[in-house]
Structure 1
């Protein structure tokens, strides 16, 4: 049975006791199969390259598409067949791809694809992935295609309600966004689900935390007392061992420092280096003759090499630390096993508590460095270069600390 398949024709087409088909008289290969229930399904019939007659389902009229859409789809399929494309194989491939998307969860993609790439290309890959696992734990088993804008916006609202800072929320979403960006680039998902999600607005002019003169004095007094106590404790331990003929521990009394903490804090305050940059610092990067530290691009957050002159206190601390360090170890501040230092959180918290210094993180020593440079009249661009900021906007948060910079600008108006 042949007829031109139009909307009016289908309205008049009544089902019978048995299924039957109507072939379109206009588009070759387009046909509709009518079930006794009244269900009308469109197909496109064609001969494959091998000459075998095949048909491909276009869709159900009414619930899935209109007859006009079915006709357009049939014409598109006819064009592909004319070009020698196996449309059935193409559809099977699309079906397999859709199944793949459903099976590729966030965690699977991170473990099998993203982690190997991130480990090779990003300096803080493991920290970033760990933060994603902690923050987005409920969504790790979600297929990537199911992660959408509404889902993450709801997560963001919940985090803010829990008291998480907007800057923290933005940073966590940025980490997740980076994973999804790679999923799009590698054609694992068709589009970026967070492309329309804008970061939360934060106060970029927030006051930078730096130490007052009295706080800095208390900090170094505590560091000095800490070294003294550790040396005394070592001496008592060796006296205990000496009486029992045990092997003695290294004598600390002849050294400037009891351990790495005092020179590490001194360098953080007087060079503005990031914690990771200090942990990765090697002796080859310290030029004692020219009094300069080189932060190489491989360890810098900006991936750009920069040179930091050493102040007298920083140079003295490094010189004294070098005298008591193991010369066979390349890192300036290695861990107890000689590898990369992991963290100094416990020691740092105890030092702040003893010095009665509140609301001062390790990273704030970097703010202290930048703030005091600006307060002493150092140009902002020079501060940017010394701190390794990617752009001047980051450095501008310290601009208000410049001596009378606003008053001087207004005075120029007369």
Structure 2
């Protein structure tokens, strides 16, 4: 399937750019075998925003093209049902009055998993599915290995292995698809009943948190200068480059001191920040659980935000929608391994609890709808400092009781 793309400024060629809030446009065009063209256009504030969203919009256009003319009554095979689902209940989220009324927010990741399911089952008739097909997918997914990056182009046996948790994510989508197919009357019974393919107990809960020493190195890596070496026209070159990245430092502090998710931070508007009260308001449309909440803003976060070049302006605090490269560079410079941005949230929750904040309050500040999520995934004793603090508290309690005991027992 060939899709042609173009990015242009709507204010050019005699137009008035100031008449539009979003002046840059991304247009994708597909031409079928009959030379019939289908185009879709999206608007953006900057050219870079349009470039960053190309793959996401291509996936959206493909779903639209595959679902055209497909009614529920036409669905007979798994592939037809999966394509229908991507265009229907798995379509991009529809937001009204700050609430999601249809679709899903993480549609891109879900569509990738559905495409993998289509690769596994293809045009298998829905009527022939059994509970053992969940086990079949699990084995297939584990055997295909890691499909990302350059290694994804290798033969399955040469790829890196994937964890059971990876297979579980695809199994959860498959289970939901089959249940929905039963509810829609496409299959006679719920074939997922009795299946034990999803092995949640085999998943390893992540416990990584940021140590004090790592925190210092990570924040320092966002400022100053550093020496880099590289090859240029066959010659080794060493240069000193500026490493000042105040936006990245602010991002890190919002994750570490306020417990905000990556998407919540990138969607943050200057009007959401109350500098006088030291509170950040997170809108329901920007959260995973669709519930608005307020989080604390520490003094160092406040100072970092006020030091940004766009402080006092209107619109988003962060003028970009991705920072993977900057984050990876900071980790490399700080010599920190095995740390993800989500681990900053786990550090935030763990520090709250070691500081005496109840798990209920910590869950609210983290935006968790279920207390079990906070307990299982965001409370860690993997940091030696946490264990040492617990030991110090027990020692203090023991010492206070010791003073009350008599010297001898009569």
TM-score by length of 2: 0.60
289-298 or 152-161, which deviates more:
152-161
Counterpart selection for 1:170 from 168, 184, 195: 168
Structure with the larger RCO, 1 or 2 (CA within 8 Å, 6+ apart): 2
Aligned to 2:334: 355
- CA contact 1:294–1:307 (8 Å) conserved in 2: yes
Q: Distance in 2 between matches of 1:118 and 1:137?
A: 25
- CA contact 2:178–2:190 (8 Å) conserved in 1: yes
Q: Distance in 1 between matches of 2:296 and 2:205?
A: 28
Aligned to 2:317: 332
- CA contact 1:272–1:365 (8 Å) conserved in 2: yes
- CA contact 2:179–2:192 (8 Å) conserved in 1: no
Counterpart selection for 1:276 from 258, 263, 286: 263
- Shift in Å, 1:121: 3.2
Aligned to 1:195: 193
- CA contact 1:166–1:202 (8 Å) conserved in 2: no
Q: Distance in 1 between matches of 2:83 and 2:313?
A: 44
- CA contact 2:142–2:164 (8 Å) conserved in 1: yes
Counterpart selection for 1:130 from 91, 95, 112: 112
Two-structure CA RMSD over aligned residues (Å):
3.7
Aligned to 1:36: none
In structure 2, the residue corresponding to 1:178 is in which secondary structure?
A: helix
- Shift in Å, 1:210: 0.8
Q: Distance in 2 between matches of 1:103 and 1:142?
A: 6
Greater C-alpha Rg = 1
1:404 matched to 2:402: no
- CA contact 1:104–1:144 (8 Å) conserved in 2: no
1:259-408 equivalent positions in 2, closer than 5 A: 260-321=247-308, 323-325=309-311, 327-328=313-314, 330-335=315-320, 341=321, 343-397=322-376, 398=379, 400=381, 401=386, 403-404=389-390
Structure 1 pair 213–380 and aligned structure 2 pair: CA distance change class (3 A): same
Aligned to 1:153: 135
Structure 1 pair 103–184 and aligned structure 2 pair: CA distance change class (3 A): closer
Q: Distance in 2 between matches of 1:307 and 1:300?
A: 11
304-313 or 400-409, which deviates more:
400-409
Structure 1 pair 277–136 and aligned structure 2 pair: CA distance change class (3 A): farther
Counterpart selection for 2:121 from 116, 139, 143: 139
- Shift in Å, 1:223: 0.9
TM-score by length of 1: 0.59
In structure 1, the residue corresponding to 2:294 is in which secondary structure?
A: strand
Aligned to 1:223: 222
Q: Where do 5+ consecutive residues of structure 2 fail to align?
A: 1-71, 95-101, 146-160, 229-241, 406-410
Q: Distance in 2 between matches of 1:139 and 1:264?
A: 42
In structure 2, the residue corresponding to 1:209 is in which secondary structure?
A: coil
Post-superposition CA distance 1:112-164 (Å, at most 9, x none) = 43344756432212221223324652324434434432122122134345432
- CA contact 1:106–1:139 (8 Å) conserved in 2: no
Q: Distance in 2 between matches of 1:149 and 1:361?
A: 36
Q: Distance in 2 between matches of 1:107 and 1:266?
A: 41
